[in-house]
Amino acid sequence: MQNVAMLGTGLIGMFYTQSLNGQRNRDRVTIVQSRSEERARQSAEEWGVPTWTTDIDEALRHPGVTTVVIGLPNFMHLEAVQKAVAAPNIKAILCTKPLARNGAEAAEILKVVEDAGVFHGYLEDLVYAPKALKAIKSVQDGAIGDVLVARSRETHPGPHSAWFFDAEKAGGGAVIDLGCHCIEIIRSYVGKHNRPVEVMCWHDTMVHPIQAEDTALVWIRFESGAVGQFEVSWTFRGGMDLRDEISGTEGTIWLNHFLRTGFEMFTSGEGSGYVAEKSEVESGWLFPVGDEIVELGYTDMFTDMFNSLEQGTSPTEDFYDGYVVNCVMDACYRSAKERTWVPVEVDWRHGKADPIRREITEYDGKNIVKQETMPDGRVKMILMEKDTGRIVDITV
């Protein structure tokens, strides 16, 4: 059993605590910390946490606490990690996404925990979403062959708290907030051993009166030759849209995590209260989510974290993963500024990835480009002559 100090009482702190304290879980949040005394007290009462405080050090040194979960704004992560490693009772540090505001800050956080020898877990929940876990396993088992393109989309009407819109405090805008999810989802499909080599990014502020970007499109080229593509936006109307698509040499996977999950409801009444995260309406056609905590990956995420902690192994997501994500996002911002492909500058630890295999088959001494059965039953082949490169088609 893990006794947890929860730092932060925003939306993510609420989801984390509900996940840890729900379903008769044996791991418990025993103290919650907030910068606001009113919010700390209110959260403790609502979430069934016995103790609250406004002081991070007091939360970390609370009797029995061995694990800290950092659900604080981005600009507070480094200080919180430094305080956590200094607390003699803390054995594990888990931090929400993104790990930091930039790669340099993430590298400093990683060095702090590694120098201290403390367990660290990066709380990237969306790679633990049930559909994602099954899809990742299918890809790893070779169901779709070599991954060619992995696409991820996360869009919604915008975050809940003011600091997200402050580029200095957050480290950026939609790329930092949402792109961190997409990058790690893409890495999970193309393989974490597959180094991100270079990035092309376009971003803009299309709707909100802020300096940070509220929309972005990004392409990532990986060492194997695979390409990652993601779209993020704070301007999407109609709820939260979470989708992935993975194309391989032998197949394709499509995932829709939130808006089209098979649960649709219409109401002409005055509204039925909370529907789902980022939902903008309470009447008309609604798309409720059966169990947000499970569907967003929190349950499987904490299971992996605490199982790994107790077994003495590394979790699926640790601070090095968070550091890599921050380095990719740094490249996104450089690319958008320079309007060109830029290299990803990262201290890489995972060796080299094999290139995508190109299986070339032949017919009559020529390379088969494509073969298909036509509507009238004929089999048509498109072939390339090896010596000239000329493309021809024949019917067999």
Question: What are the DSSP E strand ranges found in the chain?
Answer: 3-7, 28-33, 51-53, 67-70, 92-96, 119-123, 147-155, 196-204, 215-222, 227-233, 241-248, 251-256, 265-267, 284-286, 342-343, 362-363, 366-373, 379-384, 391-395
**Distance from CA of residue 87 to its chain's centroid?**
29
Q: Which residue in the block uniquely carries the two structure tokens 């590694």?
A: 114
**pLDDT at position 272, please?**
58
Omega of the bond leading into 98 within 30 degrees of 0 (cis): yes
**pLDDT at position 283, please?**
79
**pLDDT at position 291, please?**
86
- CATH for 3-124? 3.40.50.720
In this chain, the answer to whether the domains covering 3-124 and 127-343 adopt an identical fold is: no
**Distance from CA of residue 219 to its chain's centroid?**
16
Q: What is the largest CA-CA distance in the chain?
A: 79
**Distance separating alpha carbons of residues 301 and 19, to the nearest angstrom:** 10
Q: What average pLDDT values come out for the chain (396 residues) when binned by 10 residues?
A: 94 93 85 95 94 97 96 98 97 98 98 98 97 97 97 95 95 98 98 98 96 97 98 93 96 91 80 68 81 91 96 97 98 98 97 89 93 92 94 93
**pLDDT at position 25, please?**
79
**Distance separating alpha carbons of residues 299 and 8, to the nearest angstrom:** 19
How many CB atoms sit inside 10 A of residue 277's CB?
16
**pLDDT at position 347, please?**
98
**Distance separating alpha carbons of residues 195 and 315, to the nearest angstrom:** 20
Which CATH class for the 127-343 domain? alpha beta
**Domain limits, the chain:** 3-124, 127-343, 362-395
Buried b (16+ CB within 10 A) or exposed e, 337-362: eeeeebebebeeeeeebeebeeeeee
**pLDDT at position 271, please?**
60
Residues 382, 393: contact at Cβ < 8 Å? yes
**pLDDT at position 183, please?**
98
Residue 265's contacts (CB-CB under 8 Å, 6 or more residues apart) are 285, 286, 287, 288
pTM above 0.85, yes or no: yes
